[in-house]
Chain A
Amino acid sequence: MKVKHVTNSIKELRFKNNDMSQQVLADLVGCSRQTIHVLEKNKYSPSFVLVKKISKALNVTVDEVIQVELE
């Protein structure tokens, strides 16, 4: 089973959460701002724990944060 397409809504969800900055989100989940930046650009495959932390920080479900389409 291969990954067909991966998208994430972190940027949109940040803006919906009072225009939260990348640095604020990074501090909330305990990672660097660069990690949030590359995550938004789909250049990094995060751990489940990090996705879970992001979803909690943004008050949404994991599926709303990252959408993975499989073949």
Chain B
Amino acid sequence: MSYRTKMNIIILLFQLGFLILYSVIFYNDVDDFLTFGNDYRLNLVVIFGISQVIYLALLMIMNKYDKLDERNKRMEATSTGTTVVMMMFISFFSLQRLYVLNIDEGQIPIYWLWYLAFACVSLTIIIFTLSNLLIPLLGTKYES
């Protein structure tokens, strides 16, 4: 297993953990989430900040100790394209679902939109990392 693969797995596990944390917070009553601070939004911003700092630190470590050569750059470009398209679909269908579920009430609860915002950032990193793990398995073969 290459160094880059190991680091991608670590990033994936961290982001999955944060996604589960966001889901636990929002699927339970958000008002109960007052471990520190008086506002769940403030707590979430702190968690979000920690998740992003960890992600950036892992990226910096990965790129410092492993060469980002032309093959890696090409695979990352493919992963970026895949991630953008998938996130567009996920955002679209999630918002559609929220609208359909709340159509009778006339408005969408704001905390579900916050959940979508936080979860989408984690999901973007998860999909990007997963693509980075899967694309090398498929290979970038010779064009015909």
- Chain A interface residues (CB < 8 Å from chain B): 2-3, 6, 26, 30-32, 34-35, 38, 42-47, 50, 68
Contact = CB atoms under 8 A, between A and B. Distances in A.
A68 B139 CA distance: 18
Interface residues of B, number: 15
Contacts of B69: 30-32, 35
Interface in B1-18: 2, 4
B64 interface: no
A43 B141 contact: yes
A3 B143 CA distance: 7
B67 A44 contact: no
Contacts of A2: 144
Contacts of B142: 3, 6, 42, 45, 68
Given A34-B2, A50-B70, A44 B144 contact: no
Contact of B141 (A26, A30, A44, A68): A44
Contacts of A34: 2, 4, 71, 136
A26 B70 CA distance: 12
A30 B68 CA distance: 9
Contacts of A30: 67, 69
Contacts of B4: 32, 34
Contacts of A46: 70-71
Contacts of A68: 142
Interface string B104-138: 00000000000000000000000000000000100
A26 B69 CA distance: 10
Contacts of B141: 42-45
A26 B2 CA distance: 14
Interface string B23-59: 0000000000000000000000000000000000000
A34 B140 CA distance: 13
B94 interface: no
B143 A45 contact: yes
Nearest to B75: A44
